[in-house]
Amino acid sequence: MNYNLLSILRKFNIEGNIQSAKPFGSGHINDSFKVEAGEKKYLLQRINHKVFKDIEGLTYNIVNVTDHIRNKINSFQNDDPLRKTLRLIKSLNGKYFVTDDDGNFWRLFDFIEEGRSYDLVENSGIAYEGGKAYGRFINLLSDFPAKILVETIPDFHNIEFRLNNFWKAIKLDQTNRVKNVADEIKFIKERANEMKLVLKLGKEGKIPLRVTHNDTKINNVLFNKDGKAICVIDLDTVMPGYVHYDFGDSIRTFANTADEDESDLSKVNINLDYFTAFAKGFLKETKLNLNTTEIETLAFSAKLMTFIIGLRFLTDYIYGDKYYKIKYPGHNLQRARVQFKLLESLEEKYIEMQRIILQI
């Protein structure tokens, strides 16, 4: 899709002359462009309004959450850069987003200089730093009034909802792809019940709802050139959730030995050194706040989130690739297979993972 980026950019308060705007990053949902304007750099994003139906509400969340974090940083003058946060730029109409003639929604962030994102962990230091960044994010928002947040994607990590969508997709079989996934369906059926644990603990009041990020994959943290985490990004899904959602979703990418769409499944495994490093960083920031049930079920959350994301990739494959951006027709199926292979590896190492968490 070709967009008239210049006319969109002219709707914002931009410092400097706009020189270039080039596609940037490897997210699956929004379209991102790096913008150079004199000395200034920005990150322009087309917000995926098929996925996010309430752009006003989503923007309200981001403005309030980033303001809250910034205010806290400002009150600690000597704070380290880890607490830096995204900053939205106002448009000329006084809002934090604009629309174009085709009904697309656009927003502009300050570009985080020297911020590098990874799709795969390269060493334990990165995993530890990522753990600290996501843990601190939860901490900084622990006194944020969760009730004011708009639920940008209702039931986002609700396992019952995700399973129901999956059964529906199979029943409809709109693209005649169900015949290709008999093994995967069996795999899901065997595990569906076990995966309801976190929801059950929530309903029983044994674990609290917190303000969570809900999309804590590795490329949603920016790192500096020394491997220190600078900033947590991609705040579209910040909503009330359980700590398990953030910890589990991180492990699935921070401790995977292969990419999310690796074609050789034998390369997909859990790396326990990276798991340990991430958990140490995360618990350093959150441990004092977590209750015993949360800590005892943290290792389980890696299985849960790997299962949920695999289930969502597979559901999208069956529906005909309507949700995630894909590069080839079987891309979502391959992504699902990677998650399920990773889940098998998590199951093999589960007792060890439990031991590691309880020892930290």
**Rounded Cα distance, 209 and 204, in Å:** 12
Upper half-sphere CA count for residue 213 (Cβ side, 13 Å) = 26
Closest CA to 134 of 189, 191, 211: 211
Q: Which residues of 277-297 are buried (b: 16+ CB within 10 A; e: fewer)?
A: bbbbbbbebbeeebeeebbeb
| 55 binds ligand GN1, rule: CB under 6 A | no
Q: How far is the CB of 229 from Mg ion (least distance, A)?
A: 15
Q: Which of residues 85-114 bind Mg ion (CB under 5 A)?
A: none
**Contact positions with ligand ADP (CB under 6 A) in 16-35:** 24-25, 27-30, 32
In 107-158, alpha helices (H): 124-140
Residues 110, 15: Cα–Cα separation, whole Å? 11
Q: Which of 184, 215, 246, 316 binds ligand GN1 (CB under 6 A)?
A: 215
* Nearest to ligand ADP of 108, 138 (CB atom): 108
Exactly one of 141, 229, 230, 233 binds ligand ADP (CB under 6 A); which one? 233
| CA–CA dist 195, 302 (Å, integer) | 11
CB-CB contact of 209 with 202 (8 Å): yes
Tell me which of ligand ADP, ligand GN1, Mg ion, none is bound by residue 111, counting a contact when its beta carbon lies within the kind-specific cut-off of 5 to 8 angstroms: ligand ADP
Q: Is 237 in the site for ligand GN1 (CB under 6 A)?
A: yes
Choose among Mg ion, ligand ADP, ligand GN1, none what residue 237 binds, the Cβ cut-off being 5 to 8 Å by kind: ligand GN1
Whole-angstrom CA distances from 79 to 63, 113, 329 are 21, 18, 47
Minimum Å distance from CB 12 to Mg ion?
21
Contact partner, 309, from Mg ion, ligand ADP, ligand GN1, none, Cβ < 5-8 Å per class: ligand GN1
List residues near ligand ADP by CB under 6 A.
24-25, 27-30, 32, 43, 86, 109, 111-112, 115, 117, 219-220, 233-234
List residues near ligand GN1 by CB under 6 A.
27-29, 51, 215, 217, 220, 234, 236-237, 260, 309
